[in-house]
Structure 1
Amino acid sequence: MKSLYDCFLELGISRQVEARQSLLRAGEVAQRLYLIEKGCARLCVIDSSGRETSTQFFFEGDVVASLESLLTGNPSGQYLVTIEACHLRVINAAELMKRAQSDTDLQNDLHALTQRRLIHYVNLYTSAIADSPTQRYLALRATHQQQLERIPLHILAAYLGVSAVHLSRIRRKLRSDSGLDAI
């Protein structure tokens, strides 16, 4: 991903964004990619009854965009929202794609980024079908313990497909079963 990060450093513009700010709204066509230098963001959907569900979280070093919108030119079905105040590098997608036409390393990096996102969504979908909320929480905790502490409980609960109250019960039961003070 070195070539992609180099493009962010060369072509990207530094931007500070407060917490809970939309970088992209559902219905808009994605025109920018973001490199998170500091902070946390998420992609989420809002259903017809107004419930938000996050589909992915992003932290320092992650590149984020509504890739399906960026690649197809169609409006995004998701919102891109900061969770924390963020320091970002922002790059225009058209500039990046133009450069990628003559840079095979950059093409490979963009392909790898798309593959990782696809794999994440396949795993998310499979887990939603096959695993209990407790199993999904434990798997997330096993791989992203420090990042979990930065995600508000109600947002994490919606990501796991449960209410905040249910997630609190899961965490309390895990603490009680393991004898730990905090999970």
Structure 2
Amino acid sequence: MRKFLASFNILTEKDISEFSRLTTLKKLKKGDYFIEAGNMCNEVAFINKGLFRSFYLSSTGEDVTYCFFWERNFVTAYTSLITDTKTTESIQALTDIEMLSISKEDILKLQESNINWLKFMKTLAEQEYIGLENRMMLLQRETAEMRYKHILKNHPEYIQSIPLNYLASYLGITQRHLSRIRKDSFIE
């Protein structure tokens, strides 16, 4: 986590040490939830080990995978965290998880006490926005085959680590369609 925080070149060693001191080590088992829809999110966690998926239920009750959270990244139900409202997403462990958690209250105290934290949080928010915009463009502009090839090129770990039903949902296609695409990609 210290390396990740330092990689932004915003926080001092003292800032990072203070952040580390405020975190709590937590472990979740595969299938456990970081947060479930209908609850308010009041923490952010840095994933030391493991993989989460974020999903919601569509109006027809279908489980739709929205995104994945990997090791050496932060995880939170961001909209709930910043708006103090109940989340519509659930974040579930796809593997056993080891994470360092920090409360919203402590994050706010850090931001109030040090401008570096405001700069850091702004940078993280900007990166998340860009990632979401890129994902939206990919979903709206590209075919399912191109979306799959994009994942193969940019996130090969998805293919190896994520169950096909969740990967298909993330790509916006059926599992059967994904199997066909994978078969065709293998033949090429």
Tell me if TM exceeds 0.5. yes
Q: Which amino acid is 1:55 matched to?
A: Y
Match of 1:170 in 2: 181
SS at match of 2:155: helix
Shift of 1:9: 2.1
Specify the alignment match of 1:135 in structure 2.
146
**Which range is displaced more, 54-63 or 4-13?**
4-13
The residue type paired with residue 135 of structure 1 is: M
Unaligned 5+ runs, structure 1: 178-183
| 2:61 counterpart (50, 58, 77) | 50
Give me the whole-angstrom Cα distance separating, in 2, the residues matched to 1:96 and 1:118: 20
Gaps of 5+ in 2: none
Could you tell me which of 55, 76, 81 is aligned with 1:70? 81
Shift of 1:57: 0.9
Over aligned residues, Cα RMSD in angstroms? 1.6
Distance across 1 between alignment mates of 2:187 and 2:135: 27
Are the aligned partners of 1:43 and 1:56 in contact in 2 as well (CA < 8 Å)?
A: yes
Identity of aligned residues (%): 23
Q: Deviations over 1:25-61 (max 9, x none)?
A: 1121110101100000122111122212222211111
How far does residue 6 in structure 1 lie from its aligned partner after superposition?
Answer: 4.5
Q: Which moved more, 1:107-116 or 1:159-168?
A: 107-116
Residues 8 and 35 in structure 1, CA contact (< 8 A), matched pair in contact too: no
Q: Decide whether the 8 Å contact of 1:67 with 1:114 is kept in 2.
A: no
> Using the alignment, how far apart are the partners of 2:34 and 2:135 within structure 1?
23
- Among 103, 109, 113, the alignment partner of 1:102 is 113
Would you say the 8 A contact 1:25–1:80 is kept in 2? yes
Deviations 1:56-101 (A, max 9, x none): 2111110010111111111112111111111111111111111111
Could you tell me the TM-score, scaled by structure 1's length? Answer: 0.90
Give the aligned length.
177
Amino acid at match of 2:62: R
Retained in 1: the 8 A contact 2:23–2:102?
Answer: yes
Structure 2 partner of 1:79: 90
The CA deviation string for residues 131-170 of structure 1, in whole angstroms up to 9 with x for no partner, is 1111111111211112431111100000001111111110
SS across alignment from 1:36: strand
Q: Is the Cα contact below 8 Å between 1:66 and 1:76 reproduced in 2?
A: yes
The answer as to whether partners of 2:45 and 2:101 remain within 8 angstroms in 1 is yes
Q: SS where residue 88 of structure 1 aligns?
A: strand
Match of 1:12 among 23, 26, 33: 23
Deviates more, 1:5-14 or 1:118-127: 5-14
Aligned twin of 1:117: 128
CA distance in structure 1 between the partners assigned to 2:18 and 2:77 by the alignment: 18
SS at match of 2:30: coil
Q: Which residue of 2 aligns with 1:181?
A: none
Contact 2:151–2:158 (8 Å) recurs in 1: no
